[in-house]
Structure 1
Amino acid sequence: MLDCEAEMLTAEEKEKLAHPVTGGVILFSRNYYDKRQLKALIEDIRRYANKPLLIAVDHEGGRVQRFREGFTAIPAMGKIVKQSATTAQSEAYAKACGLALAYELKTLDIDFSFAPVLDINGVSQVIGDRAFSESAVQVAKLASALISGLRLVNMPAIGKHFPGHGSVAPDSHIALPVDERDFSDIEQTDMVAFAKLIGQSLLDGVMPAHVIYKQVCSQPAGFSEHWLQQILRKNLSFNGAVFSDDLSMHGASVAGDYIDRATLALNAGCDMVLACNNVKGAESILDGLESRVALNSEKDKQKQARVMALYGRNMPLGLQQQYKDAVALIQRLNVSA
């Protein structure tokens, strides 16, 4: 999954979209001027790819909302509980957020947002109020409500950052966080929300953290066969798609150069790798993995099938009033905040 530099495709990007290794595009704020322009960009992406291609965005709400002007202001998830008088009210707010963001993205032919965040609001410098709550049980309840809103619009839910980024302070964008806790501690705290939602078949995808859980495995979770194949696939019985976090983040640097990072992540159990904000790094992955596509192994066929199961889910008709009601509820939440 690649990114684009600006509001229109460059000649080089048009070529890269058609590359056999390219399976998706993630959009950023720099790709958005207004809805008309974004719609044209997405149409161009799909045309030049000339194949089924996932288009995604980080559109969680709060400080992580890539498109602003012309879109509903989705609040930070951590504000929902604080502004709610009852559990029922907080769940209604969360469902409204899921429905509104999914409706607005799907209308523009974006397949999904990398959401919800299932981390707890602990000591992390990068999570904070991106999380629903300090309690994993409450995170699971509110995330479930948000997913019910996503599902009304037929949008996949991608939970992140497995098994939990909230209990380690450093930001994996600029550092390599190391969590010193043992597995039982992680399992009984941060991992609870992931386990609950996977058990309820509510997650279509998962994004692992660029965090080393030192007492469990020496590799960050996104490069760890133990975390992805033993714990996530076998122990939790997760059968959806696994997306790496951005391989350009500092937390991924422990895995080597870009092709090493991509290869290690795919071999560990990721189905699709993200390479953003570093054109040369992404190009090295395209070149390095081209021979792997030619081999077309059974495992890689399974990876592709899991990823493409998220593609092209049409939005049901007749949701306009539910969307308007959801926006009205979010506006009330924003005013009270």
Structure 2
Amino acid sequence: MPNHIFKSLVAATLLLIAAQATGCDELDILAGQHVVYSFPSSSHPPHELVMLTKAGLVGGVILFGVNVDPNTSQAMSVLKDAYESSPAPALLKKKTGKNVRFLVMTDQEGGQVRRIKDGEPNLSAKKIGASADPAAAGQAAGAGAASSLKRYQCNSNLAPVLDIFREAGDFTDYYQRSFGNTSQQVVGAAVPFITAQQGEGVSACAKHFPGLGAASNNANTDEEPVVLNLTLSEIRGVDQVPYVAAIEAGVEMVMASWAVYPALDQRPAGLSEKWIKGELRGRLGFKGVTITDALEAGSLAAYGDAGARGTAAAVAGMDILLASGKDVLQGEAVRLAVVQALKKELLDRAEFDAATERIAAVRSRIVA
């Protein structure tokens, strides 16, 4: 089907659902729990997103700086109320036995990367890692992040970054997003961050698996493909060490990198069964939720539109698909593509159901 026709059908479906908010079957609702939606530059979600949520088709959203202002808390309450009045909670309770809350996530890493500009952590990851007591600073940062997020009705933080930079000025070091250039430095600050934040009912997300720290200053997967020619022994012996510690500490989510690591696969890690099912779940034993980085990233230009990318990521083993282009239509395109992939048996139903269980488990533990 030509891309422009598919987009027109998505738009028509979205408008129809937003107008009627009825008639959705179980598969439509379940697929929606695997997609995180986003919306344009306002704290107030657009009407169609509210109606889709009332229909049970939206299980979570991501907020950016443009979505955060004094009205954000009230706006998120509207979305949460829409979700609670939808068929989704009852269906998820029936399927998983859990009381599943609406997911509101953001990036509150610290320093420059804070969507809540007046919130903690004030210190960047680099400053935390270089402090006199990184463990105490990491603990304070995690607790502070949780407190700041809860003020705005957020319950999930896409942090901390576990990337280990190699040289000063590398991509994650330049923006001060890395705790340090050794595994020990990163583990020492990141694990207290994770445990403190999750102890306050805000889920943490370790990123960017299997490690983006070796990316040079101008190697940005948001913009273009990035290839990291590291040996598998270096990846496992350096970059994955913080993930072992984070998994042992009970981190709820792991975000995969869009970089390519030829030592194991020629596909981006987040589209690679070898990295996700084989390495992260198989070798490291991670049993929590996997989440993609931004599906609109420039590094995925060769992998089709948002729906195709989302489906490919789901097949690779990604549980949550991040439609973060600030466009409700993007989220719907991904959800509809997942539904079609399930109906055509391109996506294994048993694996999809297992992912639903994992998502429900995390969302049952976050604050309302």
TM-score by length of 1: 0.85
- Letter of the 2:44 counterpart: M
Q: For residues 141-152 of structure 1, what are the structure 2 equivalents within 5 Å?
A: 141-152=188-199
Residues 203-242 of structure 1 mapped to structure 2, 5 A cutoff = 203-242=251-290
Q: Which one of the candidate residues 132, 144, 163 is aligned to 2:179?
A: 132
Partner letter of residue 74 of structure 2?
A: A
What do the CA deviations read for 1:45-70 (whole angstroms, capped 9, x no partner)?
1123334421111111111100113x
Aligned to 1:163: 210
In 2, Cα distance between equivalents of 1:265 and 1:156: 22
1:41 is matched with which residue: 75, 78, 100?
75
Please say if residues 300 and 309 of structure 2, whose CA atoms lie closer than 8 Å, have aligned partners that are also in contact. yes
Residue type matched to 2:215 in 1?
V
Change in Cα spacing, 1:19 to 1:58, as seen in structure 2 (3 Å) is farther
Q: Aligned AA for 1:31? A: N
Structure 2 partner of 1:8: 44
* Aligned 8 A contact 1:253 1:261 in 2: no
Question: What's the secondary structure of 2:239's corresponding residue?
Answer: coil
Paired residues, number: 308
1:106 matched to 2:150? The reply is: yes
The residue that corresponds to 1:311 in the other structure is 363
Query: 5+ residue gaps in structure 1?
Result: 317-337
C-alpha displacement of 1:137: 1.8
Superposition deviation, residue 143 in structure 1: 0.6
> More deviation in 49-58 or 291-300?
291-300
Structure 1 range deviating more: 19-28 or 287-296: 287-296
Identity over aligned residues, as a percent?
Answer: 26
Partner residue, 2:229: 180
| Deviation readout 1:10-54 (Å, 9 max, x if unpaired) | 1222233346553210111111112xx111111111123334421
**Distance of 1:138 and 1:93 partners within structure 2:** 12
Task: Note the C-alpha offset of 1:108.
Answer: 3.7
Indicate conservation of the 8 Å contact 1:74/1:101, yes or no. no
How big is each residue's C-alpha offset from its partner over 1:238-294, in whole Å with a ceiling of 9 and x where there is no partner? Answer: 100000111011122232221110011000000010011252433322332234567
Query: Deviation per CA, 1:214-238, whole angstroms, max 9, x where unpaired?
Result: 1210100000000000111110011
SS class of match (1:277): coil
CA gap of 1:14–1:91, structure 2 versus 1, over 3 A, is: same
- Which residue is equivalent to 1:330? none
**C-alpha distance after superposition, 1:291-314 (max 9, x if no partner):** 456789222121111112222536
Q: Distance in 2 between matches of 1:288 and 1:21?
A: 13
- Stretches of structure 2 lacking an aligned partner (at least 5 in a row): 1-35, 89-100
AA aligned opposite 2:332: E
2:4 corresponding residue in structure 1: none
Give 3-state SS (helix, strand or coil) of 1:207's partner.
strand
Given that 1:54 and 1:308 are in contact with CA atoms closer than 8 Å, whether structure 2 keeps it comes out as no
Given candidates 28, 31, 37, the residue that maps to 2:67 is 31
Asked whether the 8 Å contact 2:149–2:155 carries over to 1, the reply is yes
Q: Aligned to 2:362, what secondary structure does the other structure show?
A: coil
Secondary structure of 1:309's match?
A: helix
TM-score using structure 2 length: 0.78
DSSP 3-state at the match of 2:358: helix
Correspondence 1:192 to 2:278: no
Separation in 1, partners of 2:234, 2:120: 38
Identify if the C-alpha distance between structure 1 residues 102 and 232 changes in structure 2 by more than 3 Å, giving closer, same or farther. same
1:283 alignment partner in structure 2: 332
The amino acid of 1:147's aligned partner reads I
For residues 188-233 of structure 1, the C-alpha deviation after alignment (integer angstroms, 9 at most, x for no partner) is 12111112222x2431110000000012101000000000001111
